[in-house]
Chains A and B, each alone.
Chain A
Amino acid sequence: MTYFDVRIPGLDMTVVQADGNNVQPVNVAEFRIGVAETYDVIVRPREAQAYTIFAESMGRSGYARATLAPEEGMEAAVPQLREPARLTMADMGGMPGMDHGSMAGMDHDSMEMPKGGASDPFYAKGSGLVPVAANGGKFLSYADLKAQNPLYEDREPTREIELRLTGNMERYIWSINGVKYEDADPIRLQYGERVRFKFVNETMMTHPMHLHGMWSILEVGAGQWNPIKHTVSVQPGATVYMETEVDEPGQWAFHCHLSYHAAAGMFRKVIVEGGPESAQAKAGATTEEGGDA
Chain B
Amino acid sequence: MSRIRLLGAVSLLVSIGFPTALAAQEMISDTTARKQPLTTWGVQLEEFEYRYSDDDEELGVWDADSFYGTDELKLRWISKGEYSLEGRAYESLENQLVGQVPISRFFDAKAGVRFDTPEGPDRTYAVLGVVGLAPQWFEIDANLYMSDEGDTSADLDAEYEWLLTNYWILYATLDATVAFSEDREIGVGKGLVSTETGLRLSYDLIDRTFSPYVGVVHERKYGDTADFAKAGGGGTEDWFAVIGARIAF
Residues on A facing B (Cβ under 8 Å): 61, 96, 159, 161-162, 164, 168, 170-171, 173, 177, 180-182, 185-186, 188, 190, 251, 263-265, 267, 269, 271, 273-274, 278, 281-282, 285-286, 288-289
Contact = CB atoms under 8 A, between A and B. Distances in A.
Contacts, number: 62
B38 A263 contact: yes
B34 A177 contact: no
A177 B7 contact: yes
Contacts of A181: 34-35
Contacts of B26: 282, 285-286
A285 B38 contact: no
Interface in B6-28: 7, 10-11, 14, 17-18, 21-22, 24-26, 28
14 contacts: A162-B10, A164-B7, A170-B133, A181-B34, A182-B37, A182-B38, A185-B30, A251-B30, A269-B32, A273-B21, A274-B21, A278-B25, A285-B29, A286-B26
A274 B71 contact: no
Interface in B56-97: 71
A289 B31 contact: yes
Contacts of A289: 29, 31
Interface string B30-44: 111011111000000
A253 to B, nearest CB: 9
B71 to A, nearest CB: 5
Contacts of B102: 171
Contacts of B24: 274
A170 B22 CA distance: 40
Contact of B38 (A171, A264, A269): A264
B166 interface: yes
A161 B13 CA distance: 10
Given A61-B166, A162-B7, A251 B28 contact: yes
- Tell me if A's interface is mostly helix, strand, loop or mixed: mixed
B143 to A, nearest CB: 20
B106 interface: yes
Contacts of A164: 7
A285 B28 contact: yes
Contacts of A162: 7, 10
Contacts of A273: 21-22, 25, 28
Nearest to B40: A172
A96 B28 contact: no
A267 B33 CA distance: 13
Given A170-B133, A186-B28, 14 more contacts: A61-B166, A170-B105, A171-B71, A177-B7, A177-B11, A182-B35, A185-B30, A188-B22, A251-B28, A265-B38, A273-B28, A282-B28, A285-B29, A285-B31
Contacts of B38: 182, 263-265
A281 B28 contact: yes
Contacts of A171: 71, 102
Contacts of B37: 182
A250 to B, nearest CB: 9
A168 B105 contact: yes
Nearest to B133: A170
Nearest to B21: A190
Given A170-B106, A170-B133, A264-B38, A274 B10 contact: no
A271 B17 contact: no
A159 B71 contact: no
Contacts of B5: none
